[in-house]
A and B are shown apart, each in its own frame.
Chain A
Amino acid sequence: MKEINLTVNNRPYRLSVLPWRTLLEVIRENLGLTGTKEGCGLGECGACTVLIDGRAVNSCLVLAAEAEGKEITTIEGLADGDKLHPLQQAFVDHGGLQCGFCTPGMILSAKALLDENPTPTEEEIKQGIAGNLCRCTGYAKIIESIKAAAENMGGK
Chain B
Amino acid sequence: MTTFYRRLPRFNYLAPVSLNEALSLLARYKGKAKVIAGGTDIIPKLKRREIRAPEHVIDLKAIPGLDNIQYDVSGLSLGALVTIGAVETSAIIQEKFGVLAQAARSMASPQVRNRGTIAGNICNAVPSADSAPPLLTIGAKLKLVSQEGERVVGIEDFFTGPGQTALANDEILQEIQIPHPPPNSQGIYLKLTPRRAMDLAIVGVAVVIIPQDGICKDIRIALGAVAPTPIRARRAEVVLKGQKLDDNLIEKAARTAAGEARPIDDHRASAEYRRDMVEVLVRRAIKQAIGSRS
Q: Which A residues are in CB contact (< 8 Å) with B108?
A: 43, 131
Query: Is the C-beta of B114 less than 8 angstroms from some C-beta in chain A?
Result: yes
A-B contacts, 22 listed (Cβ < 8 Å): A19-B10, A19-B11, A19-B13, A43-B40, A43-B109, A43-B111, A43-B112, A46-B109, A58-B111, A60-B43, A61-B40, A61-B43, A61-B44, A61-B115, A62-B39, A66-B61, A109-B110, A112-B110, A130-B110, A130-B197, A131-B110, A132-B109
Interchain CB contact under 8 A, A128 and B57: no
Q: Which among B1-9, B121-129, B180-188 touches the partner chain?
A: B1-9
Closest 6 CB pairs of A and B: A131-B109, A19-B13, A130-B197, A20-B8, A42-B44, A55-B114
Given contacts A42-B48, A61-B115, A131-B110, 5 further A-B contacts (CB under 8 A): A20-B9, A38-B6, A60-B43, A130-B198, A131-B109
A137 close to B (CB within 8 Å): no
B262 within 8 A of A: no
Is B47's beta carbon under 8 Å from chain A? yes
Q: Interface residues, chain A, CB within 8 Å of chain B?
A: 2, 18-22, 25, 38, 41-44, 46, 49, 52, 55-58, 60-63, 65-66, 68, 109, 112-113, 127-128, 130-132
A21 CA to B10 CA in the complex, in Å? 9
User: Considering the chains assembled together, what is the distance between the CA atoms of A2 and B43 in angstroms?
Assistant: 18
CA distance A43 to B38 in the complex (A): 12
**Total cross-chain contacts (CB, 8 A):** 90
From 32 to 70 in chain B, residues with beta carbon under 8 angstroms from any chain A beta carbon are 36, 39-40, 43-44, 47-48, 57, 59, 61
Interface pair B197/A131, CB less than 8 Å apart: yes
B74 within 8 A of A: no
B25 is an interface residue with CB less than 8 A from chain A: no
What is the CA–CA distance of A61 and B110 in the complex, to the nearest angstrom? 13
Using a CB–CB cutoff of 8 Å, the interface residues on chain B facing chain A are: 6-13, 15, 36, 39-40, 43-44, 47-48, 57, 59, 61, 85, 108-112, 114-115, 196-198
Chain A residue nearest to B39 in the complex (CB): A61
Closest to A112 in B: B110
List of B residues within 8 angstroms of A127 by Cβ: 110
Complex partner residue of A56 from B7, B10, B111, B196, CB under 8 angstroms: B111
Dominant secondary structure of chain A at its interface with chain B: mixed
Which residue in A21, A22, A41, A58 is a CB contact (below 8 Å) of B112? Answer: A58
Contacts of B112 in A (CB 8 A): 43, 58, 61, 131
Cα A21 to Cα B109 in complex, Å, equals 23
- Residue from A43, A44, A49, A65 whose CB has the most chain B CB atoms within 10 Å: A43
- Please determine whether B110 and A56 come into contact, CB atoms closer than 8 angstroms: yes
Q: What's the minimum C-beta distance from A73 to chain B, rounded to whole angstroms?
A: 13
**B132–chain A nearest beta-carbon distance, Å:** 20
A125–B25 alpha-carbon span in the complex (Å): 43
Task: Tell me the smallest distance from the CB of B64 to a CB of chain A, in Å.
Answer: 13
A20 to B6, CA, bound (A): 12
Indicate which residue in B10, B61, B109 contacts A20 across the interface (CB closer than 8 Å). Answer: B10
B114:A66 contact, CB within 8 angstroms:
no
Chain A residues with CB under 8 Å of B115's CB are 57-58, 61-62
The answer to whether B36 touches A63, judged by C-beta atoms less than 8 angstroms apart, is yes
Listed residue (B40, B57, B59, B114) with the most chain A CB atoms within 10 angstroms of its CB = B114
Contacts of B15 in A (CB 8 A): 65, 68
- Indicate if the CB atoms of A19 and B111 lie closer than 8 Å: no
A94 to B45 CA separation, bound complex (whole angstroms): 39
Q: Taking each of B8, B13, B108, B110, which has the highest tally of chain A beta carbons within 10 Å of its own beta carbon? A: B110
Residue from B13, B36, B40, B198 with most neighbouring chain A CB atoms (10 Å): B13
Contact A43 B59 (CB under 8 A): no
Complex Cα gap A52–B7 (Å): 22
> How distant is B112 from chain A, measured CB to nearest CB, in Å?
6
Q: Please indicate the chain A residues that have their CB under 8 angstroms from the CB of B197 in the complex.
A: 130-131
Closest to A58 in B: B111
A65 to B39, CA, bound (A): 12
Residues of B within 8 A of A58 (CB): 40, 109, 111-112, 115
A112 to B39, CA, bound (A): 20
Inter-chain contact B6/A41, CB cutoff 8 Å: yes
Q: How far is the CA of A55 from the CA of B110 in the complex (A)?
A: 9
